[in-house]
Amino acid sequence: MASPSDSQTASSLIETIQLEHVPSSYTVLVGLFKDVSNAEFLQQQLLGRNSEYEYAFIDASSVISRIQVLAAVYKAITIHMSGSMKTPNVHSEIVCSLSPNNNISEAYRRFGITPSSSKHLIIVKVLTPLPAITTTTTSSSPLTPQAVHQHLFANVKGTPTPFTDEVLQSGLTDWAKVRKYYKLNGVGWLDSIKDESLRRREAEVLVLGSMALRSL
Amino acid sequence: MAKTAQWRKIHPPPPPPAQQQSEKPHEPKPETEQFPLPTILTYPSSTPPTLITQGAEARLYKTTYLLPSLPAALKYRPPKTWRHPVLDARLTRHRILAEARVLTRCRRAGVPVPAVYAVDEGAGWLAMEWIGGPPARAAINEWLKRRKEEEGGEGRAVPVTGKEERDKQLVALMRRIGSAVGRMHGVGVVHGDLTTSNMMLRPWEKGREPANGYAATGEGVGDGLLDGDIVIIDFGLASQSTSDEDRAVDLYVLERAFASTHSRAEALFTATLESSYKETFKQAPVVLKKLEEVRMRGRKRSMIG
Ligand SMILES: Nc1ncnc2c1ncn2[C@@H]1O[C@H](COP(=O)(O)OP(=O)(O)OP(=O)(O)O)[C@@H](O)[C@H]1O
Ligand SMILES: [Mg+2]
């Protein structure tokens, strides 16, 4: 058994993030797991609509920064609030929000979990407010952040790692993919920026722009 | 369309959360009482949004995006009660989208404009990168004022010809304006409302001044007042166009606006703008020829009018 201090450090690797301009009734939990060995199992749970595994599993190789993920979460929450979701739940909506276009299955393939290529996973859980009218069927008690932590640590076979830009930049991002997905290859001036951090910042805002104008 | 409807039947979205209505908005501040906030800004944030301007069509708020540390400009087009609601919603949607598209197009092409962060065309808002620093207009006016004070303040101010050593910072700024406009035109965007109010002067980060001589530092009027990159904003009237006539009109509007807000530097501006515009835009000579025609028409009109 892990000592209390161990579980505390592990737990702190799943962050609770209060996004700006999001009702406080939404709670966002994010964690990064490196070297995940049971991606296939996790994907099976998604495909089987096992509600216990209702997470946004994001392939970290398609991600260049924290902000990119948070922007997708934010967009998914606003879509959830407006009741205009085009996918089953807020978590699938997060994966689709990373995409610069409206092709849902392509978005799952490129930004979601795939057993063959997903090694490092960013996992997001959004605890949403209870629906106004709850049908009386077995409405299980609402999830707590602690329950989410426990479930993730018990079922994701990988190494919890701080979800920071530095970690993403330490070889997790697959630039060739990101360039292809967000059509950054034709952007010559980007390549000519010598300062690495400036180049990343510029790439990041181009990615945000593509995500914001998805479908439009 | 039909596909989406079907998908929804199988996966009905959950009913809107009850909290949506009952979520406590920020205590309305005196200034916002008059102008109700867009719903998105009523949700909690680390700092309350501030109303920066209330234009005829749009309101601009300074706020945050995602994190307390990321400032953002939110442009909101409130519903117009005198217009038919369906028509109004369509027009607003259209304008927000058009502005967001032009901004992302420019940014991608390396034209200095704010990056787009998020768009909700249905709700009538667009969130973009916050550009620190004053509008170019304010900086230029302050600079001209200080220059006049240096002259002793008595009598007519000496026109700025650009010949004097002390004026080189203004010349450098004008060059930066010309090259920004040239780059914008070069990627097929016409602004529609080019003025020095629609350009921000973003302070340089340490060690990132341009190396092409367009940053005149050192001695001069109002030390450092005119330092910074030109960032073009307000694409509310912009369009994607490669017409030389449209481009010439853009330049003409800027020239007239400059003449009326900073008349003492008018002649200098025209000359500097033209030369720096040429440097960043291949087709400049054709546009500048058109500009001559547009000027003529303008003069005739003002003689008749
Ligand atoms: N991205 C930004 N960062 C910082 N300040 C901004 C930004 N965008 C606009 N502003 C400030 O807000 C003012 C108004 O913005 P803008 O010119 O886009 O609106 P507007 O003129 O009211 O719009 P429109 O002409 O489309 O109706 C600007 O003059 C500037 O001072
Ligand atoms: Mg304006």
Q: How many Å is the Cα radius of gyration of chain B?
A: 22
Name the residue of chain A whose CA is nearest to B10's CA: A88
Same domain as B171, residue B88: no
Name the domain boundary from B129, B163, B186: B129
Closest C-alpha to B250, from B300, B190, B184, B175: B190
CA dist list (Å): B188 to A48, A202, B243? 49, 21, 9
Reply yes or no on whether the pLDDT at B216 is more than 50.
yes
The H-assigned helical ranges of A115-182 are: 145-155, 165-167, 175-181
Question: Which member of A18, A22, A71 has the closest CB to residue B118?
Answer: A71
Name the domain boundary from B113, B129, B145: B129
Residue pLDDT, tens place only, B129-165: 999 999 999 999 999 999 888 887 666 777 888 888 8
The tens-digit pLDDT sequence of chain A (216 residues) is 444 445 556 667 999 999 999 999 999 999 999 999 999 999 999 999 999 999 999 999 999 999 999 999 999 999 999 999 999 999 999 999 999 999 999 999 999 999 887 799 999 999 988 765 544 444 556 889 999 999 999 999 999 999 999 999 999 999 999 999 999 998 989 989 998 888 999 999 999 999 999 854
Q: CA A120 to CA A161: how far, in whole Å?
A: 10
Cβ(A194)–Cβ(A45) below 8 Å: no
Reply yes or no on whether the pLDDT at B14 is more than 70.
no
pLDDT at A115: 87
In a domain, residue B301? The reply is no
Same domain as B150, residue B58: no
pLDDT at B72: 98
Same domain as B123, residue B108: yes
Pick the CATH number of A4-130+143-212 from 3.10.300.10, 3.30.2380.10, 2.40.110.10, 3.40.50.1110: 3.30.2380.10
Same domain as B122, residue B181: no
Please tell me the pTM assigned to this model.
Answer: 0.89
Model ipTM? 0.92
Residue pLDDT, tens place only, A96-144: 999 999 999 999 999 999 988 779 999 999 998 876 554 444 455 688 9
Same domain as B158, residue B265: yes
Q: Which residues, chain by chain, have CB under 5 Å from ion ligand 2?
A: B 198, 234
Question: Which member of A19, A88, A213 has the closest CB to residue B104?
Answer: A213
Same domain as B292, residue B163: yes
Q: CA B184 to CA B178: how far, in whole Å?
A: 10
Using an 8 Å CB-CB cutoff, list chain A residues near B40: 21, 78
Answer whether B53 contacts ligand 1 (Cβ < 6 A).
yes
Between A78 and B1, the more confident residue is A78
Cα(B146) to ligand 2 centroid in Å equals 25
Structure token digits, residue A81: 């609030």
Domain boundaries, position B264? 136-296
Q: Is B21 helix (H, G, I), strand (E, B) or coil?
A: helix
Reply yes or no on whether the pLDDT at B54 is more than 80.
yes
Cα(B241) to ligand 2 centroid in Å equals 20
Say yes or no for a CB contact (<8 Å) between A21 and B116: no
Cβ(B42)–Cβ(B25) below 8 Å: yes
Q: Give the torsion through C-alpha atoms of B283, B286, B289, B291, to 10 deg.
A: -60
Same domain as B268, residue B152: yes
Q: CA B181 to CA B76: how far, in whole Å?
A: 25
Band of pLDDT at residue B12, cut at 50, 70 and 90:
very low
Per the annotation, the verdict on B193 as an active-site residue is yes
Same domain as B145, residue B290: yes
In a domain, residue B302? The reply is no
Answer whether B236 contacts ligand 1 (Cβ < 6 A).
yes
Assign residue B152 a region (left: φ > 0; alpha: ψ between -120 and 50; beta: otherwise).
left
Same domain as B234, residue B156: yes
Task: Check residue B41 and report its DSSP letter.
Answer: G
Q: What is the DSSP string of A4-17?
A: HHHHHHHHHTSEEE
Answer whether B55 contacts ligand 1 (Cβ < 6 A).
yes
Using an 8 Å CB-CB cutoff, list chain A residues near B103: 209
Domain ranges in chain A are 4-130+143-212
Question: Which member of B11, B16, B107 has the closest CB to residue A206?
Answer: B107
Q: Is B206 helix (H, G, I), strand (E, B) or coil?
A: coil
Give backbone dihedrals phi and psi of B73, rounded to 5 degrees, phi first. -105, 125
Name the domain boundary from B129, B148, B183: B129
Task: Calculate the average pLDDT of chain B.
Answer: 86
pLDDT at A7: 52
In a domain, residue B82? The reply is yes
Name the residue of chain A whose CA is nearest to B120's CA: A212
pLDDT at A197: 87
In a domain, residue B285? The reply is yes
User: Chain B residues within 8 A (CB-CB) of chain A?
Assistant: 4, 7-8, 11, 13-20, 23, 40-41, 43-46, 63-68, 70, 97, 100-101, 103-104, 107-108, 110, 115-122, 129, 208
State how far residue B170 is from chain A, nearest Cα, in angstroms. 27
Same domain as B276, residue B153: yes
Same domain as B184, residue B289: yes
Question: Which member of A78, A82, A205 has the closest CB to residue B107?
Answer: A205
Between B99 and B29, the more confident residue is B99
- Count of CA atoms in the C-beta half-sphere (13 A) of A13: 19
Task: Check residue A171 and report its DSSP letter.
Answer: I
In a domain, residue B47? The reply is yes
H or E element at residue A207: helix A196-212
User: What CATH number is attached to the domain comprising B216?
Assistant: 1.10.510.10
Structure token digits, residue A195: 């300062």
A127 touches chain B (CB under 8 A): no
Band of pLDDT at residue B27, cut at 50, 70 and 90:
very low
Based on the structure, what is the number of domains in chain B? 2
H or E element at residue B165: none
In a domain, residue B303? The reply is no
Q: What is the largest CA-CA distance in chain A?
A: 60
- Which residues neighbour B168 within 8 Å (Cβ) at sequence distance 6 or greater? B162, B216, B220
Same domain as B122, residue B245: no
User: What CATH number is attached to the domain comprising B61?
Assistant: 3.30.200.20
Name beta bridge partners: B171. none
Residue pLDDT, tens place only, B70-117: 999 999 999 988 889 999 999 999 999 999 999 999 999 999 999 999
Which listed residue (B193, B223, B229, B234) is catalytic? B193
Q: CA B119 to CA B12: how far, in whole Å?
A: 24
pLDDT at A90: 97
pLDDT at A11: 66
Answer whether B51 contacts ligand 1 (Cβ < 6 A).
no
pLDDT at B6: 38
Q: CA B217 to CA B227: how far, in whole Å?
A: 8
Reply yes or no on whether the pLDDT at B17 is more than 90.
no
The H-assigned helical ranges of B11-119 are: 19-22, 30-34, 85-108
Cα(B29) to ligand 1 centroid in Å equals 21
Reply yes or no on whether the pLDDT at B67 is more than 90.
yes
Give backbone dihedrals phi and psi of B230, rounded to 5 degrees, phi first. -80, 125
| B89-95 contacts at long range (C-beta below 8 A, 24 or more positions apart) | B89/B122, B92/B121, B92/B124, B93/B121, B93/B122, B93/B124, B94/B121, B95/B57, B95/B236
pLDDT at A141: 66
Q: How many Å is the Cα radius of gyration of chain A?
A: 17
Give the highest mean pLDDT range of A1-15, B117-131, B197-211. Answer: B117-131
Q: CA B67 to CA B62: how far, in whole Å?
A: 14
Structure token digits, residue A48: 């089987």
Band of pLDDT at residue B22, cut at 50, 70 and 90:
very low
**E strand segments, chain A:** 15-17, 27-34, 56-59, 121-127, 159-161
pLDDT at B166: 84
Closest C-alpha to B280, from B149, B182, B146, B150: B182
**Which residue's CA is minimally distant from atom 4 of ligand 1?**
B131
Look at A35-39, B6-10, B160-164, B295-299 and tell me which has the smallest mean pLDDT.
B6-10
